[in-house]
Amino acid sequence: MPELTDDPDPRDIVTLNIISSHKISSKTKRCISLLYTTDITAGTPQVIGLRAKSAVASKAITIAEIVKRQIGAQGDKWYQYTQLSSVLDGANPAQAKHRKRRRKYENNAENLESGEGGNDDDDDDDPFVKMEEGRPKKVIAIPVLTIYISRTQLPTFAKLYGYIL
């Protein structure tokens, strides 16, 4: 089993936020370059974090798997620690309801144009409904996946998140 090292200062952990428009190849190259910027025998261990919301978690997992494969191909060991958390996001339910009504109105308009007919008896689905301004925002918790990858074993991370060899 590899020798355990001191954990890095949290300020030294480089966290890359993954969004849907990021290219996998560019993020993979960035991760590899960050992991090999310091010599693991001399300085503090280099740790990267890939952070993604639930909608793009698969992209973060793909990047992590490619990075681990490239580290292994160079004959080095890697350690992965996975954290699941959530962030609060304020969504306005009135806006969502308005979007739903607008879509229904657009679908009815398309049906009328194509000759399929529409729902003429739906007088309560007015597309121009005034939104209530004093309504509180609905707060939802969005899952967040953070994958930490290091070339050295980190005991604190292993206790907090577990590790994959």
Number of domains in the chain: 2
**Quick check: helix, strand or coil at residue 54?**
helix
Verify that 83 and 149 share a domain, yes or no: yes
Q: Using an 8 Å Cβ cutoff, are 38 and 44 in contact?
A: yes
- C-alpha separations of 120 from 100, 112, 124 in Å: 18, 10, 10
**Could you tell me if residue 5 is inside a domain?**
no
Q: Using an 8 Å Cβ cutoff, are 77 and 151 in contact?
A: yes
Domain that holds residue 106: 93-136
Verify that 125 and 154 share a domain, yes or no: no
Verify that 20 and 74 share a domain, yes or no: yes
Residue 13 pLDDT greater than 70, yes or no: yes
Residue 96 pLDDT greater than 60, yes or no: no
- C-alpha separations of 91 from 53, 87, 135, 137 in Å: 16, 13, 11, 6
Verify that 80 and 154 share a domain, yes or no: yes
What is the pLDDT at residue 71? 93
Q: Band of the pLDDT at 107, cuts 50, 70, 90?
A: low
**What is the enclosing helix (H) or strand (E) of 104?**
helix 93-114
Verify that 77 and 149 share a domain, yes or no: yes
What is the pLDDT at residue 2? 44
**Could you tell me if residue 2 is inside a domain?**
no
Verify that 106 and 131 share a domain, yes or no: yes
Verify that 20 and 78 share a domain, yes or no: yes
Verify that 49 and 117 share a domain, yes or no: no
Work out the angle at residue 54's Cα, subtended by the Cα atoms of residues 52 and 55, and round it to the nearest 5 degrees. Answer: 95
Verify that 60 and 130 share a domain, yes or no: no
Verify that 86 and 122 share a domain, yes or no: no
Q: Band of the pLDDT at 3, cuts 50, 70, 90?
A: very low
- The closest alpha carbon to 41, from 15, 76, 81, belongs to 76
Verify that 110 and 33 share a domain, yes or no: no
**What is the enclosing helix (H) or strand (E) of 80?**
strand 79-91
CATH number, position 27? 3.30.110.20
The predicted-structure confidence for 16-71, as pLDDT tens digits, reads as follows 999 989 899 999 999 998 888 765 555 566 889 999 998 999 999 999 999 999 99
